[in-house]
Amino acid sequence: MACYYSNKCFLMGQDDLPLYTYCTLEDIADFMFEYLEEIFGEAIHPELDLVGVCSQGEDRTWYYNPNRVQSKWLRPNMSWNQALGFVTAERLAIDQSTAQNIITEAVNAETTIREKLMTYVQSRQYSALQHGVEAVLALEDGCAPGFLPLSAFTKGTKDQAIDMRENREKPDRRLLVEVAFLWHPRLDPKIHRDELQIR
């Protein structure tokens, strides 16, 4: 059955989660299903799929469920910096080299984004401009570069990267969790791609 889906990448602090120091990917998968359902609620629409998990502590990525959906950010065996840099580059529409400099704090993220905003104004790329403004506001809110606060999350068809960390003072124990929210229009004829609403 054909379905529409959106990819979401959640940046989470491992210390914020009641996980054991040593746990399997299956443990993380089971926990994530329960945790996300608790936060966002269970519903027929959308269905939740866990795509992959990247651990900063383990410095690697596990590809969990590549069959029904395509990953947007995470790839098998990516290192932490590769995965975080890939998300940052895609979300901020910058090159990988600049993204790596941002996440290693070799360059200032806000200055880089503001410079991009000026090019968007000059070239009248207003959609990109709006996205850039959201990125600057998210930085001021304490989010990682390219990530939006939890308040910006939607279950709709828009791909998003969301910073869900509660404790942002411990940068060495983070997880990137990519999920997909799947919509099956045939299960509900009232649902159309352009009319999906936040549940």
At residue 48, the pLDDT reads 78
Which tokens sit at 197?
A: 């609403």
The distance from CA 105 to its chain's CA centroid, rounded to whole angstroms, is 20
Domain spans in the chain, listed from the N-terminal domain onward: 4-195
- What SS3 class is residue 182? strand
Tens digit of each residue's pLDDT, the chain (199 residues): 556 788 999 998 877 777 656 666 677 777 777 777 777 665 555 777 888 889 888 888 887 665 678 889 998 889 999 999 999 999 988 889 989 988 888 678 888 888 888 988 999 988 888 888 888 889 888 899 999 998 898 877 789 999 988 877 666 678 899 988 887 665 444 444 333 333 2
- What SS3 class is residue 31? helix
Give 65-95 as a 3 state SS string.
CCCCCCCCCCCCCCCHHHHHHHHHHHHHCCC
CA atoms within 13 A on the CB side of 109: 26
The radius of gyration computed from the CA coordinates of the chain, to the nearest angstrom, equals 17
The distance from CA 196 to its chain's CA centroid, rounded to whole angstroms, is 20
At residue 189, the pLDDT reads 43
At residue 25, the pLDDT reads 66
Measure the CA angle with vertex 61, ends 48 and 173; round to 5°. 95
Helix segments in the chain, DSSP class H: 25-40, 80-92, 96-103, 109-123, 126-140
Is the Cα dihedral 171, 36, 140, 94 positive or negative?
positive
At residue 68, the pLDDT reads 73
4-13 and 174-183 beta bridge pairing: antiparallel
